[in-house]
A and B are shown apart, each in its own frame.
Chain A
Amino acid sequence: MLETKAEEIRETILDMLVQAGSGHTAGPLGMSDLFAAFYFHILKHDPKNPDWEERDRLILSNGHTVPVRYSAMAHAGYFPVEECLTLRKFGSRLQGHPERDRLPGLETTSGPLGSGLSQAAGIALALKMDGKKNRTYVMMSDGEQQEGNIWEAVLFAAKYGLGNLTAVMDRNNIQIDGLTEDVMPLDSLKEKYEAFGWHVLEIDGHNIEAFVEACDEAKAVVEKPTLIIARTIPGKGVPDIEGDYTWHGKPPSKEEAARFVKELRSGAGRVPHEYA
């Protein structure tokens, strides 16, 4: 069921990017399994009451991937799926980069990289100070690990023992200028975070069951924050663009999107095209 939701989320992402004529394709497709798991299983939330006090908080740090969040929110019932087609248009609540003020259900305004983890840490600390049980999740990219602000936040979350904080890193190995390991090497992120006092798990970011289990394990680690490194394939679901960093920051054309949707519906070629 969650896999089906992920496919719906992906198809809507392609639809909205074609309409918008600009935006990021690879990251949102790669993160769709994670967002299906968040919105349809992991998060305690209420689409009809976005400000619900007891909700879990999901912070999206790498705001440029917001189409995946908009798509997941729409499918979860926050707003009609058709509204996704207003992405990046004048007057839309679905800004090119997410603005908390404009759309209920977004927790922060983001886009400039590297500041989601520290906002999540602030939220987690405040909730902990007040003895609240809500969990705080933050979704971040691998490329933004190059920002200094991230490491300030990594130190901070460890100092305050934020066991109520789970960070999820979309480790897709690409960024705008190329492969992360060419632009500015990041490995080994697991050892780096562990050395900073975090609990670290590594999973296949397209294995939804493994992701759900990792989030459950994180809940059991009460004395320190947890990082889940989710290894994903950028552009996942569309073999034509999988792993290609040039798809980081551009949308598909109408013709490309039609082909990509076929690829999606055919399960990346596993199902004959006539059924797709």
Chain B
Amino acid sequence: MLNKDSKLVEDMFAKDIAQKPTRDGFGAGTVEAGKKDANVVVLCADLKESTRAEWFEKEFPDRFIEVGVAEQNMATVAAGMAAVGKRPFIASYAAFSPGRNYEQIRTTIALNRQPVVIAGMHAGVSVGPDGATHQMLEDIGMMRMLPGMNVIVPGDAEEARKAVVAAATCESPTYIRFGRTATPVFTTPETPFSFGKALPLWESDAPKVAILSTGALSYEALVAARALAADGIEVSVLHNPSVKPLDEVAIMASAKKAGRVITLEEHQAAGGFGGAVAELLGMSYPVPVVRLGVQDAFGQSGTPEELLAHYGLSAQGITAAVRRMLGVH
């Protein structure tokens, strides 16, 4: 059943549940952070509409910096601005930032310890028709390997807003991953959020499988959990917006209670969130783990629904994975 303490939306499974892309949370969050702190600046590489950076530009035109199609420059200019007290957010598609400017992020932001926030938009296959070049599937892995880098993958636009506001006061650099497509807003302003904390969405007294998810797919996991419960298969769903730092306590507790784990992310199944969970459990509490994600492949054109279904990441794919793991059909 839905976890009451997480203060989720009332009409969770209504057909007309509000839907917004998580990138809207970037626009709203930067405006909010900008009002709180005059040092917040937003840099964009010729994608201000689709990244929602223009929401900030409208409010604070003097603190919006358009660098043109130059992601390497965007990262390094931001590192320089942070060095003299600014709180820069850099916005582009994840395929280009951190995809193209990874070395600049590594040296001038991470190693240089500047509190720049890297906002990677249009991540995952749900970008849709644009195809593989724009469907970034390696960013969580790249970024979580950088020492001192926080990695946040919000589950919906509301949580994304909170993540952006929180990142604006964080002393270490942060990567936040956003999606293009509108997805259900399942959290509320009252839902707790902080770096390093997971959010229990669905609980059971005797779960057979713990589904550990990150990003907007957590809603798909919820839909799957409800469908499985109707068939008498109990699971738990733990949403992990914070991939780094990972909520090790909550993940261990979920794994211990269920004895089996399925991880879920719109990313390569290797190296990302599932990889982080497997690293933790392999060391501290080995249980069977199935990692759902894209299995060593690139994306392709299609609708977001078609693509999520194809890669086994929709609610249906998740229920099938649970049944396979339990050997029930």
Contact = CB atoms under 8 A, between A and B. Distances in A.
A149 interface: yes
Contacts of A59: 80
Interface of A: 57, 59, 99-101, 107-112, 114-115, 118-127, 129-130, 148-149, 152-153, 155-156
Given A112-B103, A152-B72, A155-B68, A122 B112 contact: no
A122 B77 contact: yes
Nearest to A107: B83
B72 A118 contact: yes
Q: What bracket does the count of chain B residues touching chain A fall in? A: 20 to 34
A75 to B, nearest CB: 25
Ranked 4 nearest A-B pairs via Cβ = A122-B80, A152-B73, A122-B77, A118-B76
B212 interface: no
Given A115-B108, A126-B80, A149 B62 contact: no
A102 B35 CA distance: 34
Given A112-B107, A127-B84, A148-B72, A119 B113 contact: no
A210 B199 CA distance: 64
Contact of B73 (A100, A118, A127, A130): A118
8 contacts: A57-B84, A109-B111, A115-B76, A119-B108, A123-B80, A126-B85, A129-B63, A130-B84
B81 A115 contact: no
B76 A122 contact: yes
Contacts of A112: 103-104, 107
Given A112-B107, A127-B84, A129-B62, A101 B112 contact: yes
Contacts of A124: 80
B81 A108 contact: no
Interface string B149-183: 00000000000000000000000000000000000
B111 A122 contact: no
A208 to B, nearest CB: 28
Interface string B7-40: 0000000000000000000000000000000000
B90 to A, nearest CB: 11
B65 interface: yes
B72 A115 contact: yes
B107 A121 contact: no
A112 B63 CA distance: 29
A40 B68 CA distance: 38
Contacts of A100: 112-113
B80 A149 contact: no
B70 A126 contact: no
A149 B104 contact: yes
A115 B86 CA distance: 19
A153 B73 contact: yes
B104 A101 contact: no
A109 B107 contact: yes
Contact of A121 (B80, B82, B111, B112): B80
A108 B75 CA distance: 14
A124 B82 CA distance: 11
Interface in B54-84: 62-63, 65, 67-68, 70, 72-73, 76-84
A156 B76 CA distance: 11
A118 B72 CA distance: 9
A54 B132 CA distance: 48
Nearest to B66: A159
Given A101-B112, A108-B108, A129-B62, A118 B84 contact: no
A164 B112 CA distance: 23
A133 to B, nearest CB: 13
A108 B85 contact: no
Given A115-B72, A125-B65, A155-B70, A109 B108 contact: yes
Given A108-B80, A126-B80, A156-B70, 7 more contacts: A118-B73, A121-B80, A122-B76, A123-B83, A127-B84, A152-B70, A156-B68
